[in-house]
Structure 1
Amino acid sequence: MSGDASVAVSLKPGITLYLIRHGETDWNRESRYQGQRDIPLNETGIAQARRHGEILKGIVPSVANFDFVSSPLQRAVETMRLTRSALGLDPDAFRTAPEIVELSYGHWEGELAAELPARDPEGVAGKSADPYGWRPQGGESYRDLEQRVSAWLASLSTDTVAVSHGGVSRVARGALLGIDRAFVPFLEVPQDRILKLANGKMQWI
């Protein structure tokens, strides 16, 4: 475990980031590792995405000057389109950023979490010993993910609504809030809430 609790990056002064995890997919429901596999939303995920737009419409006076950015994976893009539609905006008028694509789980992608102890006991043991630094075959560690997400966070120049993934949400909080990296892989990542990050603080909406 890293034991590192330093703040790696900060948002520029005055900037607010509304960070949304994509809506639920069937693979989420099954506890199957998705990583960078391109899986669509299910009906629950569609409803969650619409809810995000309704919530934002109620708390943000104007999004005219906001940047809207999504991971390029289908489940994030779908979530962004539905969120923007609920806000009364052109559903396709946003950009994608490969920097906020999900953590790659390499050879674990497509596997059920419940079956991995039997299918890959060495990998499970490695992940248990160092959840932040462990890297699956052909994949990324949380440390790798934080490096690319931190660069993206530092680049934000205006208030932003971003749709991304569970791993990205975790490392963003670790980097911005100085959370001990040993705990980062275990942070909650609800799909029916919006994470507001601003001024070194966080709030679930």
Structure 2
Amino acid sequence: MTNAPKAPTPRCIIVRHGQTEWSKSGQYTGLTDLPLTPYGVGQMRRTGESIFKNQFINPDHITYVFTSPLQRARQTVDLVLEGLTEKQKANIKVVVDKDLREWEYGDYEGLLTKDIIELRKSRGLDTERPWNIWRDGCENGETSEEFGLRLSRAIARIQNLHRKHQAANIPSDIMVFAHGHALRYFAGLWFKLGVEKKCETPEELKSVKSYDASEEDVPSVPLKTYRYLNDNPNFLLDAGGIGVLSYAHHSIDEPALALAGAFICPPEEESQHAGVN
């Protein structure tokens, strides 16, 4: 009896929602629940057609879709998956996760960067160094530590699912649909950038059920530590953009960026890198 073919290394495919009126204008869009523009609708429909028609992503390898609860992300999910068969869609668990919502911008909601800089100046802030959202957060919104905590929770759950799928030799692409700052931050934490902090405060230690799936479908992963950023990770992700996160050496303990993007490398080719840094 021959052994079953080795499944490809699991991947986390991040997708920023399509264009909205505020993504087009550059206004900070946190909890303001905007729909996609007509261009954004067509944009994401074309994206879905392209990635599946050209087999950049094999729909039969998608195990989960995690999405922000905001309508611009959920609308993007529907458009990207629109061309799949009903059977293919039925095999994908779609999980709405509040931990994936955009940064809560507080006083900066709806403003442009230049407006935020002027507002902070009028309040006597940033006299010694310029504002850096990754370090300084948002007045009456979220700090970087708060944002990092909830995204760390989301990453822990996804990597735990990947570990289970890999142990069972199941191909596992997990797609994450969210927002510009959220996904750039998510990618930074995936690579273990920033600061690692022990969970100590009640908020950090609290068991949070942020998603609409059962424990059987998505096990919770209690955190002992989490990460947050204190500087710009220098990643770009335009509206409608896609990035691919994976693991080096087939090891869930070695998160990495898949520079080939959505292109699929067959396992037999992928294996040539085993043991190579």
Q: TM bucket by the smaller chain?
A: 0.7 to 0.9
Name the SS of the counterpart of 2:133 in structure 1: coil
Deviation at 1:72, TM superposition (A): 0.3
Specify whether residues 167 and 62 from structure 1 end up closer, same or farther in structure 2 by C-alpha distance, changes over 3 A only: same
**In the alignment, is the contact (CA less than 8 A) between 1:46 and 1:82 conserved in 2?**
yes
Range with greater deviation from structure 2 (93-102 or 160-169) = 93-102
**In the alignment, is the contact (CA less than 8 A) between 1:52 and 1:193 conserved in 2?**
no
- Does residue 108 in structure 1 map to residue 108 in structure 2? yes
Partner of residue 240 from structure 2, selected from 183, 189, 192 = 192
Q: Distance in 2 between matches of 1:123 and 1:31?
A: 24
Task: State the AA in 2 paired with 1:35.
Answer: G
Deviation at 1:189, TM superposition (A): 1.3
Deviation at 1:64, TM superposition (A): 5.6
Structure 2's unaligned 5+ residue stretches are 1-7, 163-172, 195-228, 248-255, 263-277
Q: Deviations over 1:119-154 (max 9, x none)?
A: 442487389344322132221133321221111111
Q: How does 1:134-173 map to 2 (within 5 A)?
A: 134-156=136-158, 157-158=161-162, 159-173=173-187
Structure 1's unaligned 5+ residue stretches are 1-12
TM-score, normalization: structure 1? Answer: 0.80
**In the alignment, is the contact (CA less than 8 A) between 2:132 and 2:232 conserved in 1?**
no
Name the SS of the counterpart of 1:132 in structure 2: helix
- Residue number in structure 1 paired with 2:267: none
Task: State the AA in 1 paired with 2:101.
Answer: V
Q: Distance in 1 between matches of 2:33 and 2:40?
A: 14
Deviation at 1:35, TM superposition (A): 0.9
**In the alignment, is the contact (CA less than 8 A) between 2:16 and 2:237 conserved in 1?**
yes
Task: State the AA in 2 paired with 1:67.
Answer: Y
- Residue number in structure 2 paired with 1:25: 20
Partner of residue 73 from structure 2, selected from 68, 72, 76 = 76
Name the SS of the counterpart of 1:103 in structure 2: coil
**In the alignment, is the contact (CA less than 8 A) between 1:19 and 1:169 conserved in 2?**
yes
- Residue number in structure 2 paired with 1:125: 126
Specify whether residues 110 and 62 from structure 1 end up closer, same or farther in structure 2 by C-alpha distance, changes over 3 A only: closer
Name the SS of the counterpart of 2:103 in structure 1: coil
Alignment size in residue pairs: 192
- Residue number in structure 2 paired with 1:202: 258
Which structure has the higher relative contact order (CA within 8 Å, separation 6+)? 1
Name the SS of the counterpart of 2:15 in structure 1: strand
Q: Distance in 2 between matches of 1:19 and 1:25?
A: 18
Name the SS of the counterpart of 2:134 in structure 1: coil
TM-score, normalization: structure 2? Answer: 0.61
Specify whether residues 125 and 44 from structure 1 end up closer, same or farther in structure 2 by C-alpha distance, changes over 3 A only: farther
Task: State the AA in 2 paired with 1:144.
Answer: E
Task: State the AA in 2 paired with 1:202.
Answer: A
- Does residue 63 in structure 1 map to residue 77 in structure 2? no
Task: State the AA in 2 paired with 1:59.
Answer: F
Range with greater deviation from structure 2 (77-86 or 60-69) = 60-69
Deviation at 1:24, TM superposition (A): 0.9
Which of 1 and 2 has greater Rg? 2
Name the SS of the counterpart of 2:28 in structure 1: coil
